[in-house]
Structure 1
Amino acid sequence: MKRLLIIEDDVALAAILTRRMSKQGFECQQCHDASQGLLLARQFKPTHVLLDMKLEQENGLKLISPLRQLLPNVIMVLLTGYASIATAVEAIRLGADNYLAKPVDTQTLLNALSVTPVDSIVEAFQEEPLSAKRVEWEHIQQVLTANSGNVSATARQLGMHRRTLQRKLLKKPVVDHR
């Protein structure tokens, strides 16, 4: 049986990933922070791990080494909303097997959980980069999540007027046409 541990602070995304991967034959467990992730890794003994790079105030990169020590044969995939060559290299150096940019479809996830690490990293960076508008939307969503949905706190952190932020939030997410 393939056992998948999903360590993702976005509860809704974790639930979606759990449903998608359960349909693909994985027994899934999910958690939403680093300490819970390490505890569940010890108890659940997953064969595969999906790890978010940004976990609330923590950096998922810091979890790679402890997870690798605990589960030397696990296939570990780092997910991020902010893909860069530097973080991809760092993730692989620390022990991740693959690296994917969000949003990610089911087939890409399945490929990442079964493909050799170098192949997936090369494929990830052969795609066109995100547009500036998409990067802005992703960043606003991440900061908004970090502020528990508080628009005023998010506007202050982003250095923009609250009404400007509200107008941006009313728009639908920008779709990249790759």
Structure 2
Amino acid sequence: MINEDVADGDIGPDPSLLLVDDDAPFLKRLARAMETRGFVVETAESVAEGLAKAKAAPPKYAVVDMRLGDGNGLDIIDAIRQRRTDTRMIVLTGYGNIATAVNAVKLGAIDYLAKPADADEVAAALTRKPGEKAEPPENPMSADRVRWEHIQRVYEMCERNVSETARRLNMHRRTLQRILAKRAPR
């Protein structure tokens, strides 16, 4: 059943929004921005806190970071979906790949956004009409940024073990260390 208010791009009668991200400054900025757009925002900085809030009062909308300090944000998506089937959820991540995007959608997420996503992108994704396609990004990631994101994802998968990451990427360990020491390219 489609909520007509959401289908028109509006928030609808239930503006509850749960934001879950372990990046506290980003979380606060996004929460303020979403409140100015009419959402009633609850925040959580961990899987445990997100699960507790989702179980206590399942929201109409949710924005969940994929990787949190104490686990995987998909656990929160799954918990919300079990309690409320009409929740519109999106996953945010800096370590995106096709397999996790597919898994997020299977668990009930309606979209999957790469960080850094701004409040306009988040609000548009949450209120997009069913079947409506997202606009292509104005500033897509550069090839250098895509490479850096891939290296970071493999590094995280290897539990931040430089030697193992270098082996899996078929890269010299010192070269990898230099890349990891630099800031992310734009």
Structure 1 residue 37: Cα displacement: 0.7
Distance 1:11 1:68 in 2: 25
In the alignment, which of 1, 18, 24 is matched to residue 37 of structure 2? 24
For the 8 Å contact 2:54–2:79, the answer to whether it is kept is no
Corresponding residue number in structure 2 for 1:112: 125
Corresponding residue pairs, total: 162
Distance 1:105 1:112 in 2: 11
The answer to whether structure 1 residue 40 and structure 2 residue 67 are counterparts is no
Question: Matches of residues 8-157 of structure 1 in structure 2 within 5 Å?
Answer: 8-116=21-129, 119-120=132-133, 123=134, 130-135=141-146, 137-138=148-149
Partner secondary structure for residue 29 of structure 1: strand
Q: Residues 154 and 93 of structure 1: is their aligned pair in 2 closer, same or farther, counting only changes over 3 Å?
A: same
For the 8 Å contact 1:4–1:29, the answer to whether it is kept is yes
Q: Residues 87 and 140 of structure 1: is their aligned pair in 2 closer, same or farther, counting only changes over 3 Å?
A: closer
Normalized against structure 2, the TM-score is what? 0.69
- Structure 2 unmatched ranges of 5 or more: 1-13, 167-172
Structural RMSD (CA):
3.1
Partner secondary structure for residue 127 of structure 2: coil
Partner secondary structure for residue 185 of structure 2: coil
Distance 1:83 1:117 in 2: 23
For the 8 Å contact 2:78–2:108, the answer to whether it is kept is yes
Deviations 1:80-137 (A, max 9, x none): 11333332222111111222111112221111111146545xx37x558633421355
For the 8 Å contact 2:55–2:80, the answer to whether it is kept is no
Corresponding residue number in structure 2 for 1:164: 178
Q: RCO (CA 8 Å, sep 6+): is it higher in 1 or 2?
A: 2
Identity of aligned residues (%): 35
Partner secondary structure for residue 86 of structure 2: coil
For the 8 Å contact 1:48–1:113, the answer to whether it is kept is yes
For the 8 Å contact 1:97–1:116, the answer to whether it is kept is no
Normalized against structure 1, the TM-score is what? 0.72
